[in-house]
Structure 1
């Protein structure tokens, strides 16, 4: 599933390509036909992301809410666009570019007031200006759930996925099994600052980069395996201490950590 930086990159891209233009919106697949008709021909005002949610605002006050889920993907193409290929949930055509959306978990039209329902269930987003990390810490500090589970809870922090979860905990030498109530405010402030910086790099570079330069020895791995400290490196030696990276499943998601650098 795309993590928060991917949605913020998409928001910036769509802002550049569609803002202040009248957009033709359709649903070749048909599942979004009614929603598309509500915004078709309207002026695109802005795009923004909140955690793993992408929001398209139109001058009518309506908002298209998109959650990519596991399989959702936008395909961006210059005009003229050819016939839709595959199950295209939403097609947007602007002045110079078009985009096709396939396979999202959610693609729906909302009133601005309805966005509050989404916002109320999300924790602070490290990539949104003015977000308060204290809101996340309060939820962490009141919970006995493992920190590894809490970081994946979008009501605690919006936008963190499995990669950032694993890498952030390693960078701060924290066991993923440590109860949230044992995380001090000082430790959380350091984690938040680090997370903001890492995710900004993700937005800028278009990929997750978490390895500090002094720990990066230029190893190459099989295609599809990320260059990381612990994520998807089960059984490989830790970059710091050479202990084999451990793997288990926590609340239905794969978990990776170093038993030596992140003692339980």
Structure 2
């Protein structure tokens, strides 16, 4: 499932390429035909991300709410202008080429997690993209515009220069301003949206009064926005916190540490496009981690392998229908 960093990256890409522009809208798949008809010809006026959800405002107070869910992704094509905050990564990030190689000193992730052309659930194929002043010739006809529809596209938004195709979302719906406000009010704090001090206090207050296990609370979007399965496992390991401890029994300083770690990790994720959760890596280790996710996590997806710290076998178990990875010694 795309986590919070991906949605913030999508929002920034939308802000650069669609805001203040009139768009064409269609639903090639047909499942959002009525909504697309209402959006067609309108101007995008703003975009915002909160946790795992994105809200796009159109003129006349009409909003589009998108929740990618487990399988959703946005595919971008055309002369895409990339926001510097998600393109540079201090020189470490380039466009994904799907082979996990390094080009011009920029690391390319084999899994596509840092892709500028497709952000969301990993996919085997990408829509052809012509990155403005960066690269061409990724396949297909450079002159074909608009690009052909590939697969099940729920919603296509199109300007003269850029095309964005939405596939496989959990939610794609139109909302009024009041409905948007009500949706956001149900979400927990987001470090990139809310006042930092107020958000931390809100998170600590909620967690410290809950009997629910902290491993479940971190995945509850009404408690904190944007954390998914990867960040949950990694944050708990970094805090050396047992995932089964009730929230109210987790020491306050540890709860605050979890929030502050989420602030740091989310910023790194937005910058690099990757869920990098390991610290103090050498330049060589950093480059390996950027290219391969197996080298960038402490416990996630490492069931049956030795803990990187103590050597104990990392375990995996089911927690509310999701896989929870943790070290039974470091997090005892």
TM-score (norm 2): 0.75
* Structure 2: runs of 5+ lacking an equivalent: 80-144
- The alignment status of 1:227 with 2:227, answered yes or no, reads no
Partner of 2:192: 127
TM-score, reference length from structure 1 = 0.93
Question: Of the candidates 86, 98, 121, which is equivalent to residue 151 of structure 2?
Answer: 86
User: Which of 180, 187, 201 is equivalent to 1:115?
Assistant: 180
Candidates 154, 157, 164, aligned match of 2:221? 154
Residue of structure 1 equivalent to 2:9? 9
Q: Retained in 2: the 8 A contact 1:122–1:157?
A: yes
Residues 21 and 95 in structure 1, CA contact (< 8 A), matched pair in contact too: no
- What secondary structure, in the 3-state scheme, does the structure 2 residue paired with 1:201 have? helix
2:256 to 162, 171, 189: 189
**1:261 has 2:261 as partner:** no
- The separation in 2 between residues aligned to 1:166 and 1:64, in whole angstroms, is 31
Asked whether the 8 Å contact 2:207–2:255 carries over to 1, the reply is no
Q: How far apart, in 1, do the equivalents of 2:282 and 2:327 lie?
A: 15
1:68 & 1:27 partners in 2: Cα distance? 16
Partner Cα separation in structure 1 for residue 323 and residue 284 of structure 2? 25
Q: CA RMSD, aligned part only?
A: 2.1
* Structure 1 residues 163-205: Cα deviation after superposition (integer angstroms, max 9, x where no partner): 1000001111100011100123322222211111111100010
Most deviating of 185-194 and 50-59: 185-194
Whether contact under 8 Å (1:215, 1:240) holds in the other structure is no
Say which is worse superposed, 132-141 or 26-35, in terms of deviation.
132-141
Matches within 5 A, 1:163-182: 163-182=230-249
Q: 1:215 to 1:224 in 2, by over 3 A?
A: closer
Using CA pairs below 8 Å that are at least 6 residues apart, which structure has the higher relative contact order? 2
Q: How many residues align?
A: 263
Mapping 1:89-100, distance limit 5 Å: 89-100=154-165
2:306 matched to 1:237?
yes
| Aligned-partner Cα distance in 1 for 2:271–2:281 | 21
The 2-side partners of 1:178 and 1:216 are apart by 36
1:47 aligns with 2:47: yes
Q: Deviations over 1:63-98 (max 9, x none)?
A: 100011111111100172223122111000113111
